Each structure stands twice: as structure tokens, then as C-alpha cells.
Amino acid sequence: MSEQTGNDAIQDNRDPRRKKILFRCWHRGMKEMDLLLGGFADAEIDKLSEEELGELEHLLSAQDHDLYAWMSGRVPLPQEWDGPLYRRIIAYHEAHGPAGFAS
């Protein structure tokens, strides 16, 4: 029998939608995006409103190379992808890392 610890126990208590979003944030196909979205999701997923979860799901529909170019500041963010949650993700990483973000 295995014991659950910290994040495992917390994740088991999450609703299926949050579990799915968290998994998708950590399994993007591009390690940089795993770190950017997964790191944010680990810290914030339980605090997100239903509307914010919808916005995050929308961001997850973007192609990794596009999203990384926007998030790293190499390419301007198209207005259709801009929103409060996107700005919150950027602010989170500006405050907490990882390296590589445009100032």
C-alpha cells in the first residue's frame, strides 16, 4: 500500500476539469511550455474561477511554438489571445521565474 503525500493528495481531491487542465499544462510536447504552464498551474489551479479555467483551456488550444513566442516576447501577442489570465501567467513568471522572459 502506498501513502499519498502533499501534491498527490491535493490532486486527488480536485474536480476532473482541474485535473485534466493540470495534466495538459504539464504535457504540452515542448518542455519550455510544460514549465511555463505547468509551473503556473501547480501554483494557481485551485484558485482559478470557472471563467479563468475557460481562459486557460483556450490558451491550451494554441500551438506550443506560437504560445512560447508570445510568452517569451519574441512575437507580439495577437489580441484574440490576450486576456486577464494570460497577463496573470506572465506576471507570475516575471515574479517567480523561469528565466528567458522578456522584461
3: in domain: no
pLDDT in tens, 61-89: 999 999 999 999 999 999 999 999 999 99
Give the Å distances, CA to CA, from 5 to 8, 36, 37: 6, 24, 23
pLDDT in tens, 11-64: 578 999 999 999 999 999 899 999 999 999 999 999 999 999 999 999 999 999
When pLDDT is cut at 50, 70 and 90, the band that residue 100 belongs to is very low
5: in domain: no
48: in domain: yes
Residue-level pLDDT at 102? 44
How many domains does the chain divide into?
Answer: 1
6: in domain: no
- Structural domain range at position 91: 16-96
51: in domain: yes
30: in domain: yes
pTM for the model stands at 0.80
Question: What CATH number did the domain enclosing 28 receive?
Answer: 1.10.150.250
